[in-house]
Amino acid sequence: MRAFVAINLSPETRSFLAAHSDRLKAAGMKLAWVPPEQMHITLKFFGELSDENATHVSQSLAAIAAAVPAFALTIGGIGTFPAAGRVNVVWIGVQASSELSGLHGQCDELLSKFGSPPEDRPFAPHLSLGRNKDHSASRNIRTVLADYVAGEPCVGRVEGMTLYESILERTGPTHRVISRHTFAG
């Protein structure tokens, strides 16, 4: 199975993200929009993971979560991947707090023994709002974003993480929960 571990988002954070998506749609941006209920902050993407390893990963995540207190997460700002040229993804930024970076590091280190080596690139937390399927629209996307005022950031509480299976379908990926892990408090 294709699997990844992600931060759970609060309902307030999902509403904040949905409002930005709605404003960008109204401004004429045409993307394959990520439904708010599927938005997440990926901590670790495994690629293919056997059922047996998924069980071990879930147990490891439970141990990590038991030692991590809940924390605040600040979300704001908007950008694209890549930053120049053709637009592939439009995202909302996530402040890389010490808590979030520490959690990512713990997941990266502990879970590398299950066949997912540590990342070579720096952790760049973000929330994908949508994917651009029509690269000829890149200029329009950049024009809309140049005039876009993102407003005040959102501060939400992070209380856990989830191990998901990513199922690829013609209409886009769907995410099935394998296990949920609530932080210590």
Q: What CATH number should be reported for the domain whose range is 2-182?
A: 3.90.1140.10
Q: Is the dihedral of CA 138, 123, 127, 24 positive or negative?
A: negative
**Using one digit for the tens of pLDDT, what is the confidence trace for 98-151?**
999 999 999 888 778 777 778 788 888 999 999 999 989 999 999 999 999 889
Q: Is 128 exposed, middle or buried (0-12, 13-18, 19+ CB in 10 A)?
A: buried
What are the structural domain ranges in the chain? 2-182
**Is the pTM higher than 0.85?**
yes
**Using one digit for the tens of pLDDT, what is the confidence trace for 30-49?**
999 999 888 999 999 888 88
Residue 21 pLDDT = 96
**Using one digit for the tens of pLDDT, what is the confidence trace for 13-32?**
999 999 999 999 999 999 99
Average pLDDT over all residues of the chain: 92
Contact present, 55 and 170 (Cβ < 8 Å): no
